[in-house]
Amino acid sequence: MDKLLDVKDLKVSFNTFSGEVQAVRGVSFDVNKGETLAIVGESGSGKSVTTKALMQLLPKPQGFIKDGQILLEGEDIVQKSEKEMQKLRGQDISMIFQDPMTSLNPTMKVGTQIMEPLIKHQKMSRAKAKERAIELLELVGIPDASTRITQYPHQFSGGMRQRVVIAIALACDPKLLIADEPTTALDVTIQAQILELMKDIQRKTESSIIFITHDLGVVANVADRVAVMYAGKIVEIGTADEIFYNPKHPYTWGLLGSMPTLDNDGYDLIAIPGSPPDMTDPPKGDAFAPRNEYALKIDEELEPPLFKVSDTHYAATWLLHEDAPKIEPPESVKRRMQGIANTGTAPGVAKDGEK
């Protein structure tokens, strides 16, 4: 498979009054062509910051890429100037945001907003761009597209606005589409429709997608591979099957344990106890140790490296070290894994414990 994106040891920090917030502390992953990678993790784990760094949309001047490489088709985009990035954004990489109610310009016609990247990147004439905008709206399932493009965002419902945002993101056939919790702000039925739409579009355009979500149900539904983030690091990464049926990291167990399933299996949802560490002063050892009931002595001293489980599956926990005691995931998590195996897909309505 061809690698589209290769992120190597990415570190992102923010300068704040209380010191340097190390939001992302050395993240490495890759995305293949046509693949969907899901990034999951609790609030504040650094998911959005990672993807904002990919587009160099970090809030300036406080946010900056401290170290690392972001190779897009082999070219390091960390080194690119703002001008070069402007050519890249919307053309090679584009982004869908969480809240459709605020992510469209309220005083600009929807059509103009879709036409903007077409005119800029593909040098289309206005007439041509307008035609294409109508096509795009039809593609994302908005009826009566030729009148709709003359309307303003407030004339659209939330779900429709998210379709518009998707149409904008798709306008120039980007190689990589980043979706930062695109369904969180929508109600359940609309969520399902938007997910369906995104899967459908991926089948048609064969673009790669990075999909950020809190919701493991959504992950099971859309992802080829899953990266689990905690405190600015990837703690486990693998194919969707590996993460759901053979999770290795206690944090992943915690996420799975706190995920509701449709068939009430008699086990209570177990929220992960405690809260993430202060990122201005991250702990010396494993950042998850204080919340981990399986924590070992070494977790307090030394950060675990990524242990290889299979060619595609890695997890950063000392439990995988050959000298560590063999520990099985708790019963409730096993039952839940079973539940996913039985139903085929996990429910699309789940929210993790902290919400």
Partner 1 sequence: MIWEESIWTIKLAYTLFSIIGEFFVNNELSVNFRKESTLYQEVLQMGRFILKRVVYMVITLFIIASITFFLMKILPGSPLSAENKLSEEQQEIVLEKYGLNDPVPIQYVNYLAGLVQGDLGLSFHFDSTPVTDILANRVGPSAILGAESLIVGVILGVLLGLIAAIFHNGVLDFTSTIIAVLGTSIPSFVFAGLLQYVFAVQLGWFPVALWKGGLEYHVLPVIALMIFPMAISARFTRTEMLEVLGSDYITTARAKGVTQAGIVFKHGLRNALIPLITVIGPMAVSLITGTLVIEQIFAIPGIGEQFVNSVMVNDYPTIMGTTLFYSVLFVVIILIIDLLYGIIDPRIRLSGGEK
Ligand X SMILES: Nc1ncnc2c1ncn2[C@@H]1O[C@H](COP(=O)(O)OP(=O)(O)OP(=O)(O)O)[C@@H](O)[C@H]1O
- Min separation Cβ 97 and partner 1, Å: 6
CA distance 221 to 254: 19
Site stretch for partner 1 (CB under 8 A), options 114-122, 208-216, 270-278, 335-343: 114-122
Beta strands 314-315 and 233-239, pairing class:
antiparallel
Give whichever of 27 and 296 is closer to ligand X, judged by the CB atom. 27
Min separation Cβ 152 and partner 1, Å: 4
Q: In DSSP terms, which residues pair with 45 in a beta bridge?
A: none
Give the shortest CB-47-to-ligand X separation in angstroms. Answer: 3
Residues that bind ligand X (CB under 6 A): 14, 16, 21, 23, 41, 43-49, 59, 62-63, 214, 279
Q: Which of 63, 111, 117, 254 binds partner 1 (CB under 8 A)?
A: 117
Rounded to an integer, what distance in angstroms lies between the CA atom of residue 324 and that of residue 332?
23
* Amino acid at site 24: V
Residue pair 111/130 in contact by the 8 Å Cβ criterion: yes
Nearest to 166 by CA among 141, 131, 203, 129: 141
* Residue nearest Mg ion, CB atom distance: 48
Q: Which stretch binds partner 1 (CB under 8 A): 79-87, 184-192, 245-253, 273-281?
A: 79-87
Q: Which stretch binds partner 1 (CB under 8 A): 33-41, 95-103, 128-136, 337-345?
A: 95-103
Q: How far is the CB of 162 from ligand X (least distance, A)?
A: 17
Residue 279 contact, options ligand X, partner 1, Mg ion, none, Cβ 5-8 Å cut-off depending on partner type: ligand X
Side-chain half-sphere of 350: how many Cα atoms within 13 Å?
28
Q: Report the b/e string of 125-164 with b at 16+ CB within 10 A.
A: eeeebbebbbebbebbbbeebeebbeeebeebeebbbbbb
What's the distance, Cα to Cα, between the start and end of the chain in Å?
37
Backbone dihedral angles phi then psi of residue 229, each to the nearest 5 degrees? -110, 140
Residue 108 interaction partner, one of partner 1, ligand X, Mg ion, none, beta carbon < 5-8 Å per kind: partner 1
Do residues 74 and 22 lie in contact, with contact meaning Cβ atoms separated by under 8 Å? no
By CB under 8 A, name the one of 25, 47, 89, 148 that touches partner 1.
Answer: 89
The residues in 26-55 that bind Mg ion, with binding defined as CB under 5 A, are 48
Among 15, 105, 157, 312, binds partner 1 (CB under 8 A): 105
List, in order, residues 6 or more apart from 241 with CB less than 8 Å away.
none
- Residue 315 touching partner 1 (CB under 8 A): no
In the complex with Mg ion, the residue whose CB is nearer, 229 or 296, is: 229
Nearer to Mg ion, 279 or 296 (CB): 279
What is the separation of C-alpha 349 from the centre of its chain, rounded to a whole number of angstroms?
17
Give me the residues that bind partner 1 (CB under 8 A), please.
55, 57, 82, 86-91, 94-95, 97, 99, 102-108, 116-117, 120-121, 152, 154-155, 165, 168-169
Give me the residues that bind Mg ion (CB under 5 A), please.
48
